[in-house]
Amino acid sequence: MKILPGRPYPLGAHYDGVGTNFALYSSIADKVELCLLSDDGQENRINIAECDNGVWHCYLPTVAPGTQYGYRVYGPYDPSAGHRCDPNKFLLDPYARTICGQVDTSNAMYSYDFANPSRRNTEDSFGHTMVSLVTSPYFDWGHDRPPLVPNDELIIYEAHVKGLTHLNPDVPGDIRGTYAGIGHPATINYLKDLGINALELMPVHQFVNDSYLQEKGLSNYWGYNTIGFFAPQNTYSSTGAAGAVQEFKQMVKALHSAGIEVILDVVYNHTAEGNHMGPTLSFRGIDNAAYYRLVDGDQAHYFDTTGTGNSLLMRSTAVLQLIMDSLRYWVEEMHVDGFRFDLASTLARQFDEVDQLSAFFNLIHQDPVLNRVKLIAEPWDVGRGGYNVGEFPPLWAEWNGEYRDNVRDFWRGNYSTLAEFGTRLSGSSDLYQDDGRNPTASINFVTAHDGFTLNDLVSYNEKHNEANGEGNADGESNNRSWNCGAEGPSDNPQVRQLRARQRKNFIATMMISQGVPMLSHGDEVARTQGGNNNVYCQDNETAWMNWNFDEDARDLLDFTKRAIALRKSHPVFRRRAYFSGQTGDDHHPEIEWFTPEGQLMTPESWQEESARGIMFFLNGDTFNYVDPAGDEIVDSDFLVLFNAAPEDVQFALPSPSYGQKWGCVLDTKEEYTGKTFTAQQKMSICNRSVVVLERMPQSEESASA
């Protein structure tokens, strides 16, 4: 085989129509072998002679897409010094665009002897691990264009590729649970009908199914165990690993044509190689100390702020380049529209403390590709000082954990929650305004993949994770949930009615809050996990979405559609700036808060410990909104009434200066929808419910008078 020097950049395997350039970074290697696999699975080892600045490279004119390959890296094996090179391990290319196969439970995956960890294990891992695949870059994107949904118009739907479609009878059986299943018209039409314009997919980067889960008959369902930051997860491809890239691109193209953005949940904080007792799959055997953060003074061990065994070394140029190259690849070549960064506080750690001015954020902010896409942080990790809600820099939105916790507490009836509830409804200015961000920095969610579903939040006081095989010790124990009087499924009509209202209360609250709402897939149809709040290992009907909707599911689905449509129709619920005190022609400010008696809230009433009812007025007259077509819109006025108390409460509507006549457009009890009310009229608001009133046009008010 003819071997040419090739180029040190770009890293990875790149086919140019004639041959393939291979480039691998290892600053510690003494020798690197490129291992090409023949059709019968035999290795052809090629010694890479060229090395520039730690990048080993060559060009092979005869190698085309479809060729499987890997690496063997020769160098120091000295864990105490942080080095773990092991040529007995067949290594994945960190930049592989496609990865084939899976990892098994063989001891050959480990560089040490299980019986005596201080002794080397020289077993060869080839045949027990994944392999990289040369991939064609060519795809007909046609007229694909990013939807460019404005941040204030986003309705995010968090979903799992397999879990969303695996049981959907309207999706052909051979593509259920795959990228093609997501891109199928049945899935896209469902999302559009619901009102979704951004699909946030749980990890699709190639991940590893942990051996300890395999041994228990379970699997890593969620996928927060990445090994390939460029490769789409091969088990989500209906055509096998070789077709994963093309199928993923086709899915994105189909979603874009429907006006739906694609946001990826990405895990750049750690890899699937685990702690010092983990397998050698790629990074560990290539250049351990360059990729991982090691304990100062004890480099045989990993500094772990993720709870997974290791953390990537964010002050390493190799790691920063890997992450930036990966992000740009998914935007430029895979056409995704943004990212949600798992455990993002770890990305900010250059040293021990979280540093928002770390190199990672500086690189993102100056990058002409990445500073234009949507950037969402999960603003915490498990390390010291790792809870950082409200502390990320401009350009970033955040999963608002404070919103989640307060809204849960308010609706389960906790005392002393009212003042914070008003702040969360208003866009959480206490968290984001001081650094120049606007309400869209707050991703408002009540549930997500991690924790109870919305249905289980109102059906269980305790987690029920026995099926995970960890003695119910895994998962969060403080869920801020309330079972409404019975643990688990109930035939009691009062319990069922209350749960139905509570589910709608959470949906309604998210849709009328300033910020960006995010639904977890299936919450709109009361999906249950049977009280399991940590289904990371449940690749079965416990975690999959059930498409056999009962009456409760259909009722909640209809309500959710109406709540989303209300938000999308009225920009007063999705302001692009915080309330500033501006008044309209009616001399009323942008927002005013009232007690149930119709009196303006005072500092004392905000602090009333037992207060669980409140009403607010949104002044559409102060909201001059220019839509994407350039048309100026003055929105309606709204009154929103909340009663989180266990008893019905009389609310008095405000004086006629706020509006003479009001029509009910949303009611979580479904008692007042479509009915009209007049100024200062008293309304009996059902216990634990929300009512949204829209001011009727002045012509109708006058006619009524």
Catalytic residues: 342, 378
Nearest-CA neighbor of 271 among 92, 23, 9? 92
Beta strands 156-159; 516-520: pairing state: parallel
On whether the CB atoms of residues 633 and 625 are closer than 8 A, the answer is: yes
CA 343 to each of CA 265, 365, 514, 533: distance values in angstroms, whole numbers, following the listed order: 10, 19, 24, 18
Say how far apart CA 131 and CA 480 lie, in whole Å.
44
293: left (phi over 0), alpha (psi -120 to 50) or beta: beta
The residue assigned the tokens 């350009």 is 395
Say how far apart CA 592 and CA 530 lie, in whole Å.
41
Dihedral angle of Cα 552, 555, 561, 565, to the nearest 10 degrees: -140
Dihedral angle of Cα 322, 325, 329, 332, to the nearest 10 degrees: 160
Say how far apart CA 326 and CA 107 lie, in whole Å.
31
3-state helix, strand, coil in the chain (%, to 5): 30, 20, 50
Half-sphere exposure of 129 (CA within 13 A, CB side): 28
Half-sphere exposure of 311 (CA within 13 A, CB side): 26
Say how far apart CA 534 and CA 236 lie, in whole Å.
21
Say how far apart CA 297 and CA 671 lie, in whole Å.
67
On whether the CB atoms of residues 676 and 660 are closer than 8 A, the answer is: no
Say how far apart CA 265 and CA 347 lie, in whole Å.
14
Say how far apart CA 452 and CA 532 lie, in whole Å.
7
Residue 5 DSSP class: -
Nearest-CA neighbor of 614 among 471, 458, 429, 423? 423
Say how far apart CA 697 and CA 538 lie, in whole Å.
52
The residue assigned the tokens 């890593």 is 220
On whether the CB atoms of residues 270 and 283 are closer than 8 A, the answer is: no
The residue assigned the tokens 């984001």 is 432
Where b means 16+ CB within 10 Å and e means fewer, 67-104 reads bbbbbbbebebebeebbbbbbbbbbbbbbbbbbbebbe
How many CB atoms neighbour CB 215 within 10 A? Answer: 10
Say how far apart CA 384 and CA 539 lie, in whole Å.
32
CA 349 to each of CA 45, 229, 371, 500: distance values in angstroms, whole numbers, following the listed order: 39, 20, 20, 43
Residue 589 DSSP class: B
Tell me the one-letter amino acid at 513. S
The residue assigned the tokens 């949507």 is 374
Which SS3 state, helix, strand or coil, does residue 456 take? helix
